[in-house]
A = this chain, B = another copy of it.
Amino acid sequence: MPVSKKEVSPCPIDAMLSVIDGRWKGTILWRLSEGPLRTSELRRSIPDMTERMLIRHLHELVEDGIIIRVQKKTTPQQVRYSISEYGRTLVPVLETICSWGRIHLQHKKL
């Protein structure tokens, strides 16, 4: 009985990974942790990522409550994404992951 990571898994590690796992999610969150950005700004800040993937990841992150989508009523339409209160609790975890990642990249070079 295959159990996808996207399903509710009782394992906390999997629960956490299901949130940040996705080809570009780490990078997206990293960018957003420095401040809110518009869809197109995010898009341009990660050149290899397609718009399709960006939007898919953004919507998943919104669903998980990590980021917030704010549509400004101005004309031209503007959509801004920012890290939520709840999402902020994730940033230190990301930093821990990142610093071990740096060590690991060093480690592999040898």
Using a CB–CB cutoff of 8 Å, the interface residues on chain A facing chain B are 1, 3, 5, 8, 10-17, 19-21, 23, 26-27, 30, 48, 65, 86, 89-90, 92-94, 96-105, 107-108
Contacts and interface: CB of A to CB of B under 8 A. Distances in A.
Contact of A13 (B19, B65, B97, B107): B97
A84 B100 CA distance: 15
Given A97-B93, A97-B97, A104 B17 contact: no
Nearest to A25: B13
Contacts of A23: 5
A89 B101 contact: no
A100 to B, nearest CB: 5
Contacts of A108: 8, 15
B105 A10 contact: yes
Contacts of A5: 23
20 contacts: A1-B48, A3-B48, A5-B23, A11-B26, A12-B100, A12-B104, A13-B20, A13-B26, A13-B27, A13-B97, A13-B98, A15-B101, A15-B104, A15-B108, A16-B104, A17-B26, A90-B100, A92-B96, A93-B96, A93-B97
